[in-house]
Structure 1
Amino acid sequence: MGRGHQRSNQVDRRLRATRKPPDGYVSEYRGDLRFYEGVVQADSFALSAFDGSSPQLFKGKVSGNELKGEQVSARSVNPIAGTRNAQAVLPDAYSLTTMKKGVPFAFTFPDAFTGKPVSLNDPKYRDKVVIVTIMGSWCHNCMDEAALLSPWYEANKKRGVEIIGLAFEYKNDPAFAKARLETVKKRYQIGYDILFAGIVDAKHPSEALPALSEVSVYPTTIFVRRNGEVAKVHTGYSGPATGQYYEEFVKEFTTEMDQLINESVSGETKQRLNK
């Protein structure tokens, strides 16, 4: 799951409370809002967290199967309402962002640290499975994803797989982006490429990647086969705060990446990978 520009004033969410820390979490189609702690007193509840950029508070009351309250942040106060539903599910994360027919998935952006132009068509990525993650240093769900991808890449990079991070930042300033992304790279010990793709706003990311139906959620992760075809697109990110949902995602990710990596490759590629 992830962060993104809200599509409307109404967003489907899943709220779950637990009896041990974290006390609960909130998930929506863009992703979870990370670890929350709180209290329940009689029919009232309060869950709060600080994601590094803004404090968040969910509070309200439960009456029977109905919930009403408000979401409070540093910038706004919004009403929330819901009905208890043990079978509630979020939209399929693989269905929210699609590839446009007839538009090739291609890009060239500068390396965030060296400024050297990098393209998906470069020899480094040829005949390899490539994970392209659309991210930003400001995005907490992107950081949760990096915490998974970084060690996974180090353990699997000799199998013919690469990862490219496309970073959209608050300023269209390479120096600003470099400073922010150096911190991210160091913190998560990232060994894969990170490119500076420009400013994060309502229009530029979608214009910069025209093969996608839209870019509005961070992270959005594209899985590219060895032959250059896009296998699937995952929108958002469910992080470790979601417990069993995160564990299920990690298992699914590992299984599906094994399948992509094991797809047939040319004899030349096999020789190169076995060196």
Structure 2
Amino acid sequence: MLLLLSLATFSTACTAQPEKPLTAGVWRATVKTAGGELPFGLDIQPGADKQTFTVHAVNGKERLPMDAATYRNDTLRIPMSLFESEIVARVEGKTMRGIWRRRRTGNEYQSIPFEAQHGLNYRFTPDGRAASVNLTGKWATTFRSTDGTDTTAAVGVFEQEGNTIAGTFLTPTGDYRYLAGNVVGDSLLLSCFDGSHLFLFKAKAKAGPAGRTLTGTFNSGPTYAETWTARFDPNASLPDPAKLTFIKPGQKFSFSFPEPTNKLVSLSDDRFKGKVTVVQILGSWCPNCMDETNFLSPWYKKNRSRGVEVVGLAFEKSAVMAESGPRIQRMKERFGIEYPVLLAGTNDKAEAAKALPALNRVVAFPTTIILDKKGQVRHIHTGFSGPGTGVYYDQFVDEFNGLITKLLAE
């Protein structure tokens, strides 16, 4: 159910009782979606200043830091400013209830009910019910819109121990990040909450003449839904991410966009001349882009002395610097980015392609373009396989480093 609640109304309701202490530790949290309850973990610990709390969202192996949380008048606020969202909940002992909300436009917020219980660390099922199937391995997957007009190919990669399972889905435009859940009998249950995306996967496993299959539903956010099917296939694969986007014949890649300070940065600037340059097409709203940034930011600090440069081209919800500049700056601060990130336009793929006319198209955020010392595009990688993909992430890192080393040696 979609609720539109004002912060003022919620705050008034939450200040009626005397303040009680907030219990630190692990909380099992849920938000309500059209597909049912979506569970995730929250680890809440007192901050060093005793006035705030550090909070991590827990999805399998991932511990994703939220912004510093505040607790006043029995109300806990956990902001996720990068994604313009927050959890606001009233605490009553070892229970908290409230909303997760995300800004849509202006002062309008999309909100859904939130609840958490202290001391519970299971995902979907508390009773240890056994799994009757083991889904470890690779699955050739197809997602379908509810009207059947749109399909997306994917590869599911799962690791299961007992009735606990973790993994993700890789697609041509990126992955679904860290998914965690349970296998109960022949039912697969997976979820992820990262402050921006709310993912809930459910499926039934079946063995038949054509092999093992999964048939289920996928819910994203409060209302979006798809169906999906998968077939166990150790050789499942996706199109080559290096062949989806390319430079048009006879075109030369270039750009000129402003930083949040309004300083114009161009590919023809001296800082890029004679250097291997990595161009990151991204958005501050995009969790896959944040995974790539979490790789590129420390990589740049370690490798820039070798003669490499990195520059980010941010395509945001607004092309107005007064609105999007602060978002870019928050992203730079959060990830310690020391390379320029420019406001290049709005987060529409067609508009991004218009802003970079040398490209045949922009298929995904992120897209990574690598140029040699002469300014020639040598490689374009569509999407990003983040750390939640395991060996696929390791493979990307190895190939990326290998290509940079090769270009530096030329």
Structure 2 length-normalised TM: 0.61
Given candidates 247, 264, 269, the residue that maps to 1:117 is: 264
Which fold has the larger relative contact order, with Cα–Cα distance below 8 Å and residues 6 or more apart in sequence? 1
- Does the 8 Å contact 1:14/1:27 carry over to 2? yes
Give how far 1:215 is off: 1.1
Give how far 1:50 is off: 1.3
1:18 matches 2:159:
yes
- State the identity as a percent: 41
1:242 matches 2:381:
no
Measured in 1, the distance between the counterparts of 2:332 and 2:321 equals 16
1:187 matches 2:334:
yes
Corresponding residue of 1:271? none
After superposition, the C-alpha distances for 1:4-60 in whole angstroms (9 at most, x for unaligned) are xx9x71111111221368712111111111111111012111100013223111101
Measured in 2, the distance between the counterparts of 1:82 and 1:244 equals 20
After superposition, the C-alpha distances for 1:119-162 in whole angstroms (9 at most, x for unaligned) are 10111111111100100001111111111111111111111110
- Does the 8 Å contact 2:244/2:363 carry over to 1? no
Corresponding residue of 2:170? 27
After superposition, the C-alpha distances for 1:80-102 in whole angstroms (9 at most, x for unaligned) are 01211110011111011111011
Output the aligned Cα RMSD. Answer: 1.7
* Secondary structure, aligned partner of 2:226: strand
Corresponding residue of 1:62? 205
Corresponding residue of 2:182? 39
Measured in 2, the distance between the counterparts of 1:156 and 1:24 equals 31
- Does the 8 Å contact 2:288/2:386 carry over to 1? yes
More displaced 10-residue stretch of structure 1: 163-172 or 177-186? 177-186
Structure 1 length-normalised TM: 0.89
* Secondary structure, aligned partner of 2:152: coil
Structure with the larger helix share? 1
Given candidates 246, 260, 275, the residue that maps to 1:98 is: 246
After superposition, the C-alpha distances for 1:203-230 in whole angstroms (9 at most, x for unaligned) are 2101000111101301100000111110
- Does the 8 Å contact 1:141/1:218 carry over to 2? yes
- Map 1:1-275 to 2 at 5 A: 9-19=150-160, 23-64=166-207, 65-74=212-221, 75-111=223-259, 113-263=260-410
Give how far 1:202 is off: 4.1
Measured in 1, the distance between the counterparts of 2:399 and 2:156 equals 23
Give how far 1:72 is off: 0.8
Give how far 1:175 is off: 1.8
Counterpart amino acid of residue 199 in structure 2: Q
Corresponding residue of 2:67? none
Counterpart amino acid of residue 41 in structure 1: V
- Does the 8 Å contact 1:22/1:35 carry over to 2? no
Corresponding residue of 1:270? none
Counterpart amino acid of residue 230 in structure 2: G
Measured in 1, the distance between the counterparts of 2:409 and 2:298 equals 20
Measured in 1, the distance between the counterparts of 2:197 and 2:341 equals 25
Counterpart amino acid of residue 204 in structure 2: K
- Does the 8 Å contact 1:22/1:241 carry over to 2? no
Aligned length: 257
- Does the 8 Å contact 2:297/2:335 carry over to 1? yes
Measured in 2, the distance between the counterparts of 1:106 and 1:24 equals 38
| Distance change (3 Å), C-alpha of 1:188 and 1:22 | farther
- Does the 8 Å contact 1:27/1:33 carry over to 2? yes
Corresponding residue of 2:63? none
Give how far 1:166 is off: 0.1
| Distance change (3 Å), C-alpha of 1:11 and 1:99 | same
Structure with the larger strand share? 2
Corresponding residue of 2:15? none
More displaced 10-residue stretch of structure 1: 84-93 or 197-206? 197-206
- Does the 8 Å contact 1:108/1:117 carry over to 2? yes
- Does the 8 Å contact 2:190/2:202 carry over to 1? yes
- Does the 8 Å contact 1:50/1:56 carry over to 2? yes
Measured in 1, the distance between the counterparts of 2:352 and 2:227 equals 30
Measured in 1, the distance between the counterparts of 2:167 and 2:308 equals 35
Report the structure number with the largest CA radius of gyration.
Answer: 2
